[in-house]
Chains A and B, each alone.
Chain A
């Protein structure tokens, strides 16, 4: 994306950060969601409450954590609670407005697989698994998902239901007795997607600057639906871009700096 002055990944992170508000209480997944949440906190949403599953509530890290339990998260948190309390009182108790997840495999109904590629009992690739995701996906009031588009990642049928999105679509959540909204937003490196109000299938509502419909389809394993009135995502502002790049530079320096190269 040389001509535009920003990369597709930067656009993805910044578009995701814009979806978060000052009053949100956000359960943050590691990786792309973590970057987006902290850019939001450092730009338009300084009051946002960021929660990581290690029990750190209201954290404000200066660098992005490598794991969900880096010391920086605890040092800057309003409070740090035990893991059972995290999942019982705060997540199950209905205190989380947005669960922000990444995905290895995603289908058009927002169901996520991070468990296995292939058969569960004889996997071709054993992935790390769900961690907190199965309950984040059903106990948070709504779910945002962010991932870079690939045909391997965005598939017609996922190999395993690590966390439930809209299932087979329509009212599948309600039929299972799940009363939260589920996935309401998908931000990729190419577009912004929202579920169709009736079918719950993710539909492209906004293309990032310079992106074509064809590019979105070529990097997606299902037949993509586009909204009738398609927006163009506003490009990153100078402040957004500077905030993200500074954060990533600080992060890189911090993680390399604690390495063995500097020892002895």
Chain B
């Protein structure tokens, strides 16, 4: 049953060295605060799963926490490349990492299959695409009814998924709205799920009945971290800090600059520092 915990404790209780872990968020509601807490606690040998690895996986890879990455787009959205991930893949720095690459359709189907309790996902994909030749986890099956050859990938079942959401009610039910991405599937596919939220409200009685609500019994722990998805955004709370994404390109380009930035902005900070980072973005939301 869900527990409300300080983020430090929620991460410590649910993440272990060697886990496969998804910090999901499709450009929106990215769980940055949870990722930074994982970085502070110094986990090792993680298999990092995410459609769009983004800044937080660039940071975790740059800190040497990942042994493997499973992804479908290893870029800084709208800006360019992820330079710490590149350094690891191209130069093995700070350690070499194993790469398992899919398309968005492949990852989305694999999460959905994980949530559905299936061993694999079947879809019409990868036709003529080079990934099928370099990723042994992309195979094909023949439809028993039509004979059509379809793509098959193993379902994604993370040990633990972290997401950020707008709000929880006092019982621990969670609301996600706006660009809902893959959050629901990533939570339901995982053995354990941890959610950071902007706020806790009394109840969800006046919500539209079809909004994306994750029942409290699907979640292990909730931590209240206002601003916890900065520099991503939380629909209805604060806007995306596009300038921070542009700045990251420069920070991550240099190994020493990266380390200095991580020391000052992650290692020496805490979850409580996120609220101030989004103050200037609240009016724009």
> Is there a chain B Cβ closer than 8 Å to A206's Cβ?
no
The answer to whether B71 touches A70, judged by C-beta atoms less than 8 angstroms apart, is: no
Q: Does B93 contact A (CB under 8 A)?
A: no
Residue of A nearest to B247 (CB): A260
Assuming the contacts A69-B28, A92-B123, A176-B128, asked whether A132 and B243 have C-beta atoms less than 8 A apart, the reply is no
Whether the Cβ atoms of B124 and A126 lie closer than 8 Å is no
List B residues at the A interface (Cβ < 8 Å). Answer: 26-28, 51-52, 71-75, 77-82, 85-86, 89-90, 101, 103-105, 108-109, 111-112, 123-131, 134, 148-149, 178-182, 184-185, 233, 235, 239-247, 279-281, 284-285
A172 — which chain B residues lie within 8 A by C-beta?
Answer: 128
| Neighbouring A residues of B103 by C-beta, 8 Å | 130-135
Task: Please give 15 more A-B residue pairs, beta carbons under 8 A apart, in addition to A71-B179, A87-B108, A131-B52.
Answer: A54-B26, A54-B27, A55-B26, A66-B77, A66-B240, A68-B77, A69-B181, A82-B184, A88-B112, A115-B131, A128-B82, A131-B73, A176-B128, A256-B243, A258-B284
Contacts of B280 in A (CB 8 A): 260, 262-264
> Could you say which interface size class chain A belongs to?
35 or more
Q: Which residues of A contact B75 (CB under 8 A)?
A: 127-129, 131
Q: Which residues of B contact A199 (CB under 8 A)?
A: none
A162 pairs with B185, CB closer than 8 A: no
Could you say which residues of chain B place their CB within 8 Å of the CB of A132? 103-105
Which positions in A face B, CB cutoff 8 Å?
30-31, 53-56, 65-71, 73-74, 80-84, 86-88, 91-92, 115, 120-121, 123-135, 137-139, 160-164, 167, 172-173, 176-178, 255-264
Closest to B128 in A: A164
CB distance from A67 to the nearest CB of B (A): 3
B39 to chain A, nearest CB (A): 21
Q: How far is the CB of A27 from the nearest CB of chain B, in Å? A: 11
Can you list 25 residue pairs at the A/B interface with Cβ under 8 Å? A31-B78, A69-B27, A69-B28, A69-B77, A69-B179, A73-B179, A82-B180, A84-B185, A92-B105, A92-B125, A126-B89, A128-B80, A128-B82, A130-B129, A130-B131, A134-B129, A135-B103, A138-B125, A138-B128, A167-B128, A258-B239, A258-B240, A258-B242, A258-B284, A263-B279
A161→B105 CA distance, assembly (Å): 16
Taking the closest CB of chain B, its distance from the CB of A240, in whole angstroms, is: 24
Roughly how many angstroms separate A88 CA and B123 CA in the complex, as a whole number? 8
B127 touches A178 (CB 8 A): yes
Please, how many angstroms separate the alpha-carbon atoms of A259 and B112 in the complex?
36
Complex contact B130–A120 (CB within 8 A) = yes
Contact B73 A84 (CB under 8 A): no
From known contacts A70-B27, A130-B72, infer whether A54 and B109 are also in contact, taking CB-CB under 8 Å. Answer: no
Contact of A259 with B241 in the complex, beta carbons under 8 Å: yes
The reply to whether A131 and B130 contact each other, CB–CB distance below 8 Å, is no
Contacts of A138 in B (CB 8 A): 124-125, 127-128
Q: How far is the CA of A259 from the CA of B82 in the complex (A)?
A: 20
Lowest 9 CB-CB distances: which A-B pairs, in order?
Answer: A69-B27, A259-B243, A164-B128, A128-B75, A67-B77, A66-B78, A161-B130, A131-B73, A263-B280
Chain B residue numbers with a CB within 8 Å of A131 are 52, 72-73, 75, 103-104
**Chain A residues within 8 Å of B246, by CB:** 255, 259
In the complex the two chains form, what is the Cα distance from A260 to B52 in whole Å? 24
Nearest Cβ on chain B to A171's Cβ, whole angstroms:
13
* Distance to closest chain B CB from A25 (angstroms): 17
**Taking CB as reference atom, which chain B residue is nearest A163?**
B129
Contact B127 A162 (CB under 8 A): no
Given contacts A68-B77, A92-B123, A164-B128, contact A87 B90 (CB under 8 A): no
8 Å CB contact of A128 from B28, B74, B180, B241: B74
Give min CB distance, A76 to chain B, whole Å: 12
Contacts of A31 in B (CB 8 A): 78
Which chain A residues lie closer than 8 Å to B239 at the CB level? 71, 258
Tell me the minimal C-beta distance from A8 to chain B in angstroms. Answer: 22
Neighbour of A134 across the interface among B126, B180, B184, B247, CB < 8 A: B126
Q: Are A134 and B105 in contact (CB under 8 A)?
A: yes
Among A65, A83, A128, A137, point to the contact of B108 (Cβ < 8 A). A83
Q: CA A177 – CA B148 in complex, angstroms?
A: 9
